[in-house]
Amino acid sequence: MRADAERNRMRVLRAAEELFAAKGAPNVTMEDISRAAGVGRGTLYRRYPDRASIAVALLDEHERALQERLLRGDPPLGPGAPPGERLAAFYAAMVRLLEDHSHLVLGAETGRSRFETGAYGFWRAHVRALLTAAAHPAPDALVEPLLAPLAPDVYAYQRDDRGLTPAQITTALAHLARRVTG
Amino acid sequence: MRADAERNRMRVLRAAEELFAAKGAPNVTMEDISRAAGVGRGTLYRRYPDRASIAVALLDEHERALQERLLRGDPPLGPGAPPGERLAAFYAAMVRLLEDHSHLVLGAETGRSRFETGAYGFWRAHVRALLTAAAHPAPDALVEPLLAPLAPDVYAYQRDDRGLTPAQITTALAHLARRVTG
DNA sequence: CGATAAGTGGACGTTGTGTCCACTTATGTT
DNA sequence: AACATAAGTGGACACAACGTCCACTTATCG
């Protein structure tokens, strides 16, 4: 990797982050980003084939931090607590993540492409492991239903259209977590 | 409404249904539909501003039939059964609906527009009523999490990518329904 | 049989996409 | 220090789909 390529990569990400926050991800065109980054269209497309891949790249570091805490952090998020509590803590952390980066996450994951990100695979494996630990008969069929409430559009709908607070959403999900692993 | 307008409306719906089934909803353009229906672009746009509204119209009758059964049908789908069982039956019926019309429903509900359809409002009210009947403390915050697994893209992912059968999905959702209302 | 309002259709301008290729520049080799 | 070369760059371009607009047609009613 050439040094200027790396520099441009950073400029693209920084510009995209700013634009997403300012205008909302769906309203930002690839041209907007390339212009704001001071980079040509071709250069932009070289690394990021579409808007989603940019948003994914932006979210990556935040998600990685949470993944680390899930694997090695303190209970109840990390290992040690009972499955239901860990699931509730996971929900709470995800709500926090969605809240902090809603504008990113919203434009990022359009339709089924959401499931194909590395992060989704990680959440999936985590929840599946918790269900298994709770001795659930069919963890595979319950994983997606339990992750579905964390879909960005569901979250945004609850928050913006139904007027729910993050705290209310967290409480409800904690309730769900305990019930389902109980 | 003029007779020819009604005739064209039918032709558009029939053409769209065929195209959606044949090529998958996202790959069908408005032009495709208008040409297949033997109708001009302007005529198409007059009644249906976008692809989603066409798919919604197509789904409407099927959804209405289910709505009728929820309100006045036999238990456990209709009134009479305990809330947990009614919720499980509702899930089963929705899985059936998704299974039968997946190609329609998939292109129909892109992102947040899903929540704005009349049908979603109906499902929402129904589930909320069941939660209330089950004496839940905060039904409003649990409705969306319980409906989220029925999002078309979640269902399609479970079925096509995870290889789950409709029966497995139904079983898992029944389990969820009983746990959460228990 | 007009009058007229509703309905029709396709041409058109606009916007965003993604590709392509001639040019530039960092890097390491002699 | 000059050169070779492969990686990187940028904007022109062709394309696809969108949604609008308006002159024309036709059903319906008095």
**How far apart are the C-alpha atoms of B29 and B23, rounded to whole Å?**
10
For residue A53, the model assigns a pLDDT of: 85
Domain spans of chain A, in order of start: 1-49, 52-181
Tokens 């949470």 sit on residue: A66
| Full DSSP string of chain B | --HHHHHHHHHHHHHHHHHHHHH-GGG--HHHHHHHTT--HHHHHHH-SSHHHHHHHHHHHHHHHHHHHHHHS-TTTSBTB-HHHHHHHHHHHHHHHHHHTHHHHHHH--GGGGGGSHHHHHHHHHHHHHHHHTT-S-HHHHHHHHHGGGSHHHHHIIIIIS---HHHHHHHHHHHHHHHH-
Residue A1, pLDDT score: 67
Q: How much is the pLDDT for A107?
A: 59
Q: Is B109 left (phi over 0), alpha (psi -120 to 50) or beta?
A: beta
**Strand D at less than 7 A from CB of A40:** yes
Are A171 and B110 within 8 A, CB to CB?
no
B138 vs A171, A179, A180: nearest CB:
A171
**Distance (Å, whole) CA B2 – CA B21:** 29
Per-10-residue mean pLDDT, chain B, length 182: 82 89 84 90 89 84 89 95 97 94 67 79 96 94 96 90 96 96 86
8 Å CB contact of A157 and B179: no
- pLDDT truncated to tens, each residue of chain A (182 aa)? 677 788 888 889 999 988 888 887 878 899 999 999 988 888 899 889 888 888 888 887 788 889 999 999 999 999 999 999 999 999 999 999 999 887 776 655 566 677 877 889 999 999 999 999 999 999 999 999 999 999 988 998 999 999 999 999 999 999 999 999 98
Residue B73: the pLDDT is 94
Size of interface A-B (CB pairs under 8 A): 94
CA-CA distance, A172 to B13, in Å (whole number)?
40
Q: Per CA to C1' distance, which residue is closest to C27?
A: A2
Give the pLDDT confidence score for residue B71 in this predicted structure: 95
- Give the nucleotide with minimal C1' distance to the Cα of A6: D8
B148–A154 CB contact, under 8 Å? yes
Element (H, E) at A16: helix A3-23
- Its CATH class, for the domain covering A1-49, is mainly alpha
Please name the fold of domain A52-181: Tetracycline Repressor; domain 2 (1.10.357)
